[in-house]
Chains A and B, each alone.
Chain A
Amino acid sequence: MVTSAVITIEQLTGWLRRFQELVIKNQTELTELDSAIGDADHGINMARGMTAVINKLDGQHATHANDLFKTVAMTLVTSVGGASGPLYGTFFLRFAGSTGPAVELDTAALVTGLDAGLAGVIERGKAQPGDKSMVDALSPALEAMEAVMKNGGDLVAAATAGRDAAVAGRDATVPMVARKGRASYLGERSAGHMDPGAASVALLFEALSAELAG
């Protein structure tokens, strides 16, 4: 078991690279989820957006967390489109605002940053837990990370708990009736399908956990 007290700027970048790899690996599945209850583009759009992010990061060497995540946010906003662009963009923009010019984040700073991101997503998208959206994976993941932190668990343990909770939250969207986004137009017919936004959030936490586990 790897133990660590902080996540470095290199690891934060590594997190984003792993997220891009996972999005590309799961691109077809994400788009298929979106075909069932949306407009069949979530995998395509997220793959395009995260690839643009990685290309951008390859061309510049960010040394501070706020610069890194502001670049991520603006690149996603300008390259993803749809609802996912402003939602993921707002998530990373608020994350950047929370971390400030840090060069590494301890568990508390990471969780605080992710929490600020979640608040931004809720503000932008107006979705609450239970509405069948990315909030249903984000919110439990953050709760799980906070619980581990309060019990004195380290960063790796927090990230692992966050990943597990995000996956469980993602799976819990299957029976939900959508109240936000295009899936809400289907009413009861949206039940029985996993929310694609919650599925991509689970990948974000899977990437974080994998990066910290080394």
Chain B
Amino acid sequence: MKKLINDPQDVVAEALLGIEAARPEVRVDHANRIVYRRDTPKTGKVGLVSGGGSGHEPLHGGFVGLGMLDAACAGQIFTSPTPDQMLEATKGVDSGAGVLHIVKNYTGDVMNFDMAAELAAAETGITVEAVVVNDDVAVEDSLYTAGRRGVGVTVLLEKLVGAAAEEGRSLPDLVTLARTINDSGRSMGMALTSCTVPAAAKPTFELGEDEMELGIGIHGEPGRRRVALVGAREIAEQLMEPVLDDLDFTSSPVIVMLNGMGGTPLVELYLMYGEVAKITDQAGITVARNLVGNYITSLEMAGCSVTLLRADQELINLWDAPVNTAGLRWGI
């Protein structure tokens, strides 16, 4: 294992020291591993709290700031944060307008946020709502799985709901908006390589030179299918087909995100975006906005995911609203 780390046990704590040193728009509670927006709580504004395992940077700590999250709880690498962290963050961002938890649909994240909401109800008078993101078409959504995973749509949702919260919208309005966004987006990912959890010191799975993993999540877990490695054009088709089969994206403009898994250079991500754009053109899909880069990653995994989100004019306006975070910044 070759990584830019000191002790594997200290990776998350030391990364938070770096985030605090680098980013003037945040402050960090190191004891509870929470990244806060510097000016939270803002009077009258609903507090947005997310969190999850580390290793997906810039998600979530890199999305704290103006126009996005008020707080992000950092777990260990690929491990959900704990209810005490989420409770502390909830108290820290509440201005009296309530708090929205943005939760990716993973067993651990959902259970820990559930416990946090129970604790918040028991210990404080804070109104807490939760939205669970589950946009990954690689997982069959049935009674026999833990359900679809929360992946790329999480990034878009944090941006859009963050902008709406900034406008002063109420908690019930934000819940409705967040659920609409979740229902309007789909993602699919693939990996060329595995990744190495620092504490495990070796790759989570092995992939041959001529293989790729299709339908991966964001935790270095193996995907739905291991298939023969093909060219970018065919990979784009294999990612887009299940997304387009699952939801109609021709009836309104869309926001497209071509996301890197952490270990793929931008030259390849732009090449892939070109292939995806050809497919959307052929399918008669209007791309209103796009995002190309590393936004929800899986350590140093090579590969990418593609996310499509239906976006009416209201969502496009929210998308264009100012944002100032480590991961996204425009309009300021």
Contacts and interface: CB of A to CB of B under 8 A. Distances in A.
A77 interface: yes
B204 A77 contact: no
A66 B153 CA distance: 43
A182 interface: yes
Contacts of A45: 76, 79
B219 A182 contact: yes
B200 A184 contact: no
B271 interface: no
A79 B200 contact: no
Given A41-B78, A181-B107, A186-B222, A86 B83 contact: yes
Interface of B: 53, 75-84, 106-108, 111-112, 114-115, 138-140, 143-146, 149, 197, 199-200, 204-205, 217, 219-222, 224
B87 to A, nearest CB: 10
A100 to B, nearest CB: 20
The interface centre, meaning the residue of A39, A44, A86, A182 with most chain B CB atoms within 10 A of its CB, is: A39
B144 A184 contact: yes
A35 B220 CA distance: 9
A180 B217 CA distance: 15
Which 5 residue pairs spanning A and B have beta carbons closest together?
A83-B108, A86-B111, A184-B145, A81-B79, A82-B108
B108 A86 contact: yes
A81 B83 CA distance: 9
Interface of A: 31, 35, 38-41, 44-45, 77-87, 89, 124-125, 179-182, 184-187, 189
A195 to B, nearest CB: 13
B222 to A, nearest CB: 6
Contacts of B83: 77-78, 86
A39 B219 contact: yes
A40 B204 contact: yes
Contacts of A79: 82
16 contacts: A38-B221, A40-B78, A40-B197, A40-B204, A41-B79, A41-B200, A44-B199, A81-B53, A81-B75, A85-B112, A86-B112, A125-B107, A179-B145, A185-B149, A185-B221, A186-B222
A189 B75 CA distance: 28
B157 to A, nearest CB: 21
A39 B140 contact: no
Contacts of A84: 108
A77 B115 contact: yes
Given A78-B82, A83-B80, A85-B112, A185 B224 contact: yes
Contacts of B112: 81, 85-86
Given A41-B200, A85-B108, A86-B115, A185 B139 contact: yes
Nearest to B148: A185
A40 B80 contact: no
Contacts of A85: 80, 82, 108, 112
Nearest to B197: A40
Contact of A41 (B81, B145, B199, B224): B199
Contacts of A44: 199-200
Given A81-B112, A86-B115, A39 B145 contact: no
Given A86-B115, A182-B106, A182-B107, A39 B146 contact: no
B111 A125 contact: yes
A180 B82 CA distance: 20
Contacts of A185: 138-139, 145-146, 149, 217, 221, 224
A78 B84 CA distance: 6
Contacts of B81: 81
Contacts of A86: 83, 108, 111-112, 114-115
A186 B221 CA distance: 9
A186 B140 CA distance: 10
B78 A39 contact: yes
